[in-house]
Chains A and B, each alone.
Chain A
Amino acid sequence: MRQTVQAATLLAAALAAPASAAEGERIQITGEIIDTWCYFSGVMGGPDAVVGSAHHTCALWCSAGGIPVGLLGEDGEVYMVLKIEGDDENASGDTNLNLASHEITADGMLYKRDGLNYLVVEQVVTDHGITNLNHEDYGVVPGFAIPEPKP
């Protein structure tokens, strides 16, 4: 009987896990606003190539197209951005678009669920602009992002 109760308790705890995992904690974090699909899927190359100045035009396209925006922290973790300074338009919103490829220092609430980090940015403490000048290594990614100038 005791074992049955223990098993039931374990089961209840497991079922309750997602709700408790979604409790937020206050954090301040610095990182780059990226488009998450290119980063996670590898569709256009490795993670170092699909960030920064090399990928800026694509980051604009993806943000405008409603691909989720994330903050790639200095710790290497991606934080899926839910809001920025009260703007909850996290699918193709203007605030996300305006910050594409920018390094920001953000103060806000962190939530974790099912292997993903979620971030509500309450304040952009500092907008450092585009600081990852990886075009020096990668040129432009993807190559067709910049049309060849007409003679």
Chain B
Amino acid sequence: MRVLTTSLALALLASPAMAADFSEGSTAKSWNLYAEAPAFFEAKVVDITCEITGDCTDNCGGGSRQIGLLRAADGVLVFPNKNAQSGFQGAAVDLLPFCGKTVEVDGLLIKDEDIQGAANIYQVQKIRETGAQEWTKANTWTKAWEAKHPEAAGKGPWFRRDPRVNAHIAQTGHFGLGLEKDAELIKELFE
């Protein structure tokens, strides 16, 4: 019995490390990131603010709140920081249609022991409800942005046309240090 008890205790203590490898079954594409690991797992889609603080809203905040993945295997709250698109888009818009549902996700987990806090960070590449066959690619952010900003239609990537970003740059410059300093630094950069 003592052996059984010890084994159970060791298994519990060891479970975080053992649970860290979710590469089996993953078909996630590498982004050649230093600390990436492919990760396919089942999870419940949750509003992170609700999960952490108990302050909950309808529909996971409707896209204005970060959305998390409560992993089924070990109860760990995984934080998707990034969707599957290249560029500067988070994952909340892509995960929102699955709020409250149990899903399977595939993507890249980031765990970098050289950077404090870099654990259970995720780049989600595709999502599907558990039991479904078809995947939904996590690449819908840009279309949602275009629908929200018809006045910003035009050539080039969204981030060069975003009205809020451009208003900030127009006010304080690319370095955020004021327009006079900005002009001086840009002149130095391109000389």
Query: Which residues from chain A sit less than 8 Å from chain B, CB to CB?
Result: 3-4, 6-7, 10-11, 14-15, 18, 22, 24, 35-37, 39-43, 47, 53-54, 56-58, 60-62, 64-68, 70, 76-78, 80, 82-83, 88-94, 97-98, 100-101, 109, 111, 113-118, 120, 130, 133, 135, 139-140, 145-149
Name the one of A39, A56, A89 contacting B174, with C-beta atoms under 8 angstroms: A56
CB<8 Å pairs between A and B, sample of 23: A3-B1, A22-B52, A39-B115, A40-B81, A40-B115, A41-B31, A41-B81, A42-B115, A64-B88, A64-B159, A64-B165, A65-B159, A67-B81, A82-B66, A88-B65, A89-B64, A90-B64, A91-B66, A98-B168, A114-B119, A116-B79, A118-B48, A146-B189
Name the one of A10, A77, A100, A111 contacting B8, with C-beta atoms under 8 angstroms: A10
- In whole angstroms, what is the CA distance A89 to B48 when docked? 12
B23 contacts chain A at the CB level, 8 A cutoff: no
List 10 tightest A-B contacts by C-beta distance, closest first: A66-B90, A115-B119, A78-B117, A65-B88, A56-B176, A61-B88, A91-B92, A3-B5, A89-B64, A61-B159
In the complex with contacts A10-B12, A24-B53, A40-B34 CB distance below 8 A: no
Specify the chain B residue showing the minimal Cβ separation from A80.
B79
B185 contacts chain A at the CB level, 8 A cutoff: yes
Q: How far is the CB of B2 from chain A (nearest CB, A)?
A: 6
List, in ascending order, chain B residues with CB within 8 A of A113's CB.
52, 77
- In whole angstroms, what is the CA distance A63 to B4 when docked? 50
Q: Which of A39, A57, A66, A149 has the most CB of B within 10 A?
A: A66
- A43 touching B66 by the CB < 8 A rule? no
Query: Which residues from chain B sit less than 8 Å from chain A, CB to CB?
Result: 1-2, 4-5, 8-9, 12, 15, 31, 33-36, 48-49, 51-53, 55, 57, 61, 63-67, 75-79, 81-82, 87-93, 110, 112, 115-121, 123, 141, 158-160, 162, 164-165, 168-169, 174-177, 185-186, 189-190
- In whole angstroms, what is the CA distance A100 to B5 when docked? 51
In the complex with contacts A40-B121, A65-B87, A90-B49, A149-B12 CB distance below 8 A: no
List, in ascending order, chain A residues with CB within 8 A of B189's CB.
139-140, 146
Q: How far is the CB of B108 from chain A (nearest CB, A)?
A: 9
- A53 touching B53 by the CB < 8 A rule? no
Count: A-B pairs, CB below 8 Å: 201
Main secondary structure of the interface of A (DSSP, over half): mixed
List, in ascending order, chain A residues with CB within 8 A of B160's CB.
147
- B168 touching A114 by the CB < 8 A rule? no
List, in ascending order, chain A residues with CB within 8 A of B15's CB.
14
